[in-house]
Amino acid sequence: MKDAIFEVNNVSFSYEEANEKAMDQVSLSVPEGAFYAVLGQNGSGKSTLAKLLNGLYLPTSGQVLVCGMDTADEKNTWDIRQNAGMVFQNPDNQIVATIVEDDVAFGLENIGVAPTQMPGRIEQALLDVGMLEFRERAPHTLSGGQKQRIAIAGILAMEPRAIIFDEATAMLDPQGRKEVFAAVQKLNREKGITVLWITHFMEEAAQCQHVYIMEDGRIVMEGAPEEVFSLPEKMQALRLDAPAAARLAHRLREAGMPLKAGLLHMEETAKEVARACKLNSKA
Ligand SMILES: Nc1ncnc2c1ncn2[C@@H]1O[C@H](COP(=O)(O)OP(=O)(O)O)[C@@H](O)[C@H]1O
Ligand SMILES: [Mg+2]
């Protein structure tokens, strides 16, 4: 098995004023090159986890390792932030410059990249998120999805090994959501960047390799999407809906239609239903 990029060992965390733990004995592991999801309702602890993962918060107990480095050791903070970038919900809070390429340059200046290296890195990062032709535009003239891709380019230019996305599509329209998710899938596939995709959208989690489901600061379920989402009753108990296709498949099975297990996506489900109907009409 490949080395873990993120390794969370039995971590608890409390905010100073709060009585309840925001993170309660959480353990998880994300291998290098993987595309994993953390799924949970509002207030379940997702952003707290994200901030523990890049050392913004330190565990009350337990240990967080990023690329093998303990976040509790201050010597590691710089390396950890460079290895694991973060993209947040609101693109407007992440974009600082009035020209797209200046915005991507901003992070590079901060980490002390040589000026001669900057143009090449900026160009590559914008190319990787499909935004190169917008390099001279003013960010405020762009759509939400485009702005979010600029924010991603800003992180990418720093050449991290992993990126944590904390509800990076939550403020976007369906089109923007799709385009950002597709851009991130491409980064994972073609650049091998490890992705931790934090979301409350089931349909997105269903497209990741492995899902951790959080509730009240705990991980209450985990597994491949095909396993996790094929248990609609369990999902309901967690106040989460399984993806629409999985619910449909479940109902149809209950009604006696012999559908294969692990259906999550509409297109695949439609084909499977058609197959079952054809079999039935021949019988
Ligand atoms: N700065 C804070 N101070 C005190 N409590 C907080 C703070 N941030 C979050 N919380 C509490 O911690 C819990 C987890 O919040 P959060 O990690 O933001 O969840 P999510 O990102 O899943 O919505 C919630 O109960 C929330 O109210
Ligand atoms: Mg959050």
User: Which phi and psi (to 5°) does residue 156 adopt?
Assistant: -60, -40
Find tokens 């497209």 and name the residue: 207
Q: Which residues lie below 8 Å from residue 32, measured CB to CB, with a gap of 6+? A: 2, 3, 4, 5, 161, 192, 194
Q: Cβ distance 172 to 148 under 8 Å?
A: yes
Ligand 1, atom 2: closest residue by C-alpha: 15
Rounded Cα gap, residues 1 and 176, in angstroms: 35
What stretches of 15-130 show up as alpha helix (H) in DSSP?
Answer: 46-53, 77-83, 91-94, 100-110, 118-128
What does the domain layout of the chain look like in residue ranges? 4-229, 243-283
Tokens of 268: 């695949």
pLDDT 10s per residue in the chain (283 long)?
568 999 999 999 999 988 889 999 999 999 999 999 999 999 999 999 999 999 999 999 999 999 999 999 999 999 999 999 999 999 999 999 999 999 999 989 988 899 999 999 999 999 999 999 999 999 999 999 999 999 999 999 999 999 999 999 999 999 999 999 999 999 999 999 999 999 999 889 999 999 999 999 999 999 999 999 888 788 877 777 778 888 888 889 989 999 998 888 888 899 999 999 988 787 6
Q: Which residue, by CA, sits nearest to atom 18 of ligand 1?
A: 47
HEC readout, 74-106: HHHHHHHHHHEEEECCCHHHHCCCCCHHHHHHH
Q: Which CATH architecture has domain 4-229?
A: 3-Layer(aba) Sandwich (3.40)
Taking the centre of ligand 2 as the mean of its atom positions, its distance from the CA of residue 45, in whole angstroms, is: 7
CA of 262 to the centre of ligand 1 (A): 33
Span from the CA of 98 to the centroid of ligand 1 (angstroms)? 32
Q: What are phi and psi of 215, to 5 degrees?
A: -150, 135
Task: Name the residue of 48, 60, 214 to mutate for ligand 1: max ligand atoms within 8 A of Cβ.
Answer: 48
> Which residue from 190, 191, 194 is spatially nearest to 34, judged by alpha carbons?
194
The total number of residues written for the chain in this structure: 283
The span from the CA of 249 to the CA of 244, in Å, is: 9
Q: Give the model confidence (pLDDT) of 120-155 as tens digits.
A: 999 999 999 999 999 999 999 999 999 999 999 999
Closest CA to 45 of 220, 225, 210: 220
Q: Report CA torsion sign: 105, 108, 110, 116.
A: negative
Report CA-CA distances (Å) from 30 to 9, 163, 197, 250: 12, 12, 11, 30
